[in-house]
Structure 1
Amino acid sequence: MTGPIVPAESSGLAALSGSGVGRPGGTIAVVGSAKLDLVIRQERLPRPGETVLGRTFDRVPGGKGLNQAVAAARAGGRVAFLGRVGDDAEGRQLAQTLRPESVDTHRLITDPTRGTGIAQVSVLDGGENAIVVAAGANASSDWSPDDEALLTTAAAVVAQLERPVPLVRRAFEAARALGVFTVLTPAPVSADALALLPLVDLLLLNEHEARALAAQEDPLAAARSLSPGRIVILTRGSASTLVAHEGALVHDEPARPAAAVDTTGAGDCFAGTLVARLASGDSFKAAIGAATVAASLSVARPGAAASMPTWVEIEANLGGNEAFTG
């Protein structure tokens, strides 16, 4: 441990939990990726030049943005998705995935010049995964007046780095101008993300991403170094989740035991649920508890977007544990 845990509520999170900047009950605008996941379950990854046999193959909706949008909607959020797909069967499948979730897809634009994004996902025994992404239409950096108009009623703007950094910057600059809370999950992590940090209110990342972004080997020290000016949430797989703010570790959320089947999308589940509960007016403690439970439920199921739990399921698993209901 790199410093004491000092219980504290962040003024930044209070913007979502109370009145004012966060617009509780407002739209969660997800500026994100939508991809079709090509999933092979297999014993292990191949070595260079080696072929291994897979057990099963599935084509399932995914992409970090789409996953987060579904997670937020199922956790009770009012969600709009700002994304790009190709003019192909895969793009139509992704749009059909979002509509039954009550996600607003008016800003899910079909790009006739690019195909829909694809992710090649290897799911290993024990639930761990390895993913290779072809961006396709997600590579578009277009930002329109209609996109910006959507933010006028937003509680939060959520983005990842499966869309171009210049696009995320424009979305966050527009959000800041309108007093809208900004959330970044910097994956896939890159040095370009550092330039976005002054526009970020909540940075949600794992240990690998924290080390890479802060250029520090100790992920806890990395989280603390990234936290001045914003809230940093460090997820650590089966270990507890830590929260840093203004250079101090302010919260340590116990892990929720789970029998992992597929960890694909677990971080997206955490992010979407957390923001949905904050936008609904929950306290930070309650929201991070709900997100922890949601992620534990998601890894016990196969798939990414399909594994996201509903608020009824999350709430049913919150009861009787003060660590998750405070």
Structure 2
Amino acid sequence: MMAEILRGDSVSQAHEVVVVGSVNADLVIGVRRRPAPGETVLGSDLATYPGGKGANQAVAAARLGGRVGILGRVGDDGHGALLRAALAGAGVDLSHLLVTEGPSGVALITVDPGGDNSIIVSPGANARLVPADVDRARPMLAAASVVSFQLEIPIETVEAAARAAADAGARVVLNLSPPAPLPDGLLALCDPLVVNEHEAAFLLGHRGGPADLAKELLGRGPRSVLITLGADGALVADAAGVTAVSSPKVEAVDTTGAGDAFTAALCLRLARGDDLADAARYAARVGAAAVRRPGAQSSYPDADEELPA
């Protein structure tokens, strides 16, 4: 039998950003190189961090000074307690963070010496976030300026929540991660659709130059598109054309969760009225700050931290 418990205080004011998404424990091991099939390699001590693409975005936006809420699920295990505490500590509204019997989501992450990572996700409680949960959270969604989504929760829940947010006048931002086919109706709500080059190629069925990919994606129906390019910044595409956004040059320690920091900063600035290109420029600085420290949420800058220029 599934237990549902609401944690946190009731919504007292409109949120700038509401995140609908996953909440995971990140189990991280540093490796000299990734193992080949059938091979065993030695790694560092295991470190456990609060993570999940949804929780990462919520924490990053809250640390930047945003009023942030989250709709998600965690398990009633030790990981769930860690995850709730991390979100609450960042100031995220937990009114619609549900606690489910069973395990929380877990991400198994290896990080190489260059800071690049490989990730396997066990959804756990995230797989139990259903459209009925969206119905109960409609007041929070309706009061948000921007609602952010990823794809570590069931696609039918993403679709229901995106429709509810759009119907209420909120701006829908969707990060196609992990990549999965999108219904045309959901794609049409995205403003922007946020992808990296691999995710763009997955959705289109072929590779190409970033500008060409951005234009082709825009032709598929989203209101705007943003392609992240790692250390090379990003491209934004909308009805006005394609704009390149540079990223500050920093020494990368760990890229885990950097894309979530980027998307969170993007959402917060869009909620505060920036146009897409200006929001992306700020987001690139926040993402660059995040790769300078290990972990995901532990690497995110506070509102008063000087960002790389």
Could you tell me the TM-score, scaled by structure 2's length?
Answer: 0.90
Shift of 1:74: 1.3
Partner SS for 1:312: coil
Q: In 1, distance between residues paired with 2:278 and 2:178?
A: 28
Moved over 4 A (4+): none
Q: In 2, distance between residues paired with 1:102 and 1:194?
A: 35
Q: In 1, distance between residues paired with 2:214 and 2:92?
A: 32
152-161 or 137-146: bigger deviation: 137-146
Contact in 1 for aligned 2:236/2:277 (Cα 8 Å): no
For residue 296 of structure 1, what is the aligned residue in structure 2?
288
- The answer to whether 1:240 aligns with 2:233 is yes
State how many pairs are aligned: 291
For residue 55 of structure 2, what is the aligned residue in structure 1?
66
Shift of 1:247: 8.6
Q: Which of the numbers 137, 151, 155 marks the counterpart of 1:147?
A: 137
CA 1:283–1:248 in structure 2 vs 1: closer, same or farther (change >3 Å)? Answer: closer
Partner SS for 1:154: coil
**RMSD across aligned C-alpha pairs, in angstroms?**
1.7
Shift of 1:195: 5.2
1:119-198 alignment to 2 at 5 Å? 119-142=107-130, 143-144=132-133, 145-192=135-182, 196-198=186-188
Contact in 2 for aligned 1:226/1:247 (Cα 8 Å): no
Amino acid at match of 2:77: D
Give the structure, 1 or 2, with the largest relative contact order (CA under 8 Å, sep 6 or more): 1
For residue 227 of structure 1, what is the aligned residue in structure 2?
218
Deviations 1:117-142 (A, max 9, x none): 01000000110000000000000142
Q: In 1, distance between residues paired with 2:17 and 2:233?
A: 26
Q: In 2, distance between residues paired with 1:211 and 1:221?
A: 11
Q: In 2, distance between residues paired with 1:151 and 1:53?
A: 45
Q: Which of the numbers 44, 47, 51 marks the counterpart of 1:55?
A: 44
Amino acid at match of 2:232: A
Q: Which of the numbers 61, 65, 69 marks the counterpart of 1:80?
A: 69
Shift of 1:194: 5.3
Could you tell me the TM-score, scaled by structure 1's length?
Answer: 0.85
Shift of 1:280: 2.4
Shift of 1:283: 4.2
For residue 17 of structure 1, what is the aligned residue in structure 2?
none
Shift of 1:285: 4.0
CA 1:236–1:193 in structure 2 vs 1: closer, same or farther (change >3 Å)? Answer: farther
Contact in 1 for aligned 2:30/2:112 (Cα 8 Å): yes
Contact in 1 for aligned 2:233/2:284 (Cα 8 Å): no
229-238 or 36-45: bigger deviation: 229-238
Contact in 1 for aligned 2:189/2:223 (Cα 8 Å): no
Partner SS for 2:247: coil
Q: In 1, distance between residues paired with 2:149 and 2:279?
A: 19
What runs of 5+ residues in structure 1 fail to find an aligned partner?
A: 1-24, 322-326
Percent identical among aligned pairs is 42
Q: In 1, distance between residues paired with 2:28 and 2:212?
A: 35
Q: In 2, distance between residues paired with 1:317 and 1:134?
A: 33
For residue 311 of structure 1, what is the aligned residue in structure 2?
303
Amino acid at match of 2:233: S
For residue 5 of structure 1, what is the aligned residue in structure 2?
none
Q: In 1, distance between residues paired with 2:276 and 2:178?
A: 26
Q: In 2, distance between residues paired with 1:43 and 1:194?
A: 42
Amino acid at match of 2:271: A
Deviations 1:221-272 (A, max 9, x none): 22211114411111111113111114931x1111210100000011100000
Shift of 1:175: 1.0
For residue 43 of structure 1, what is the aligned residue in structure 2?
32
Deviations 1:74-133 (A, max 9, x none): 122110010001111110110000111110011010011x31001000000110000000
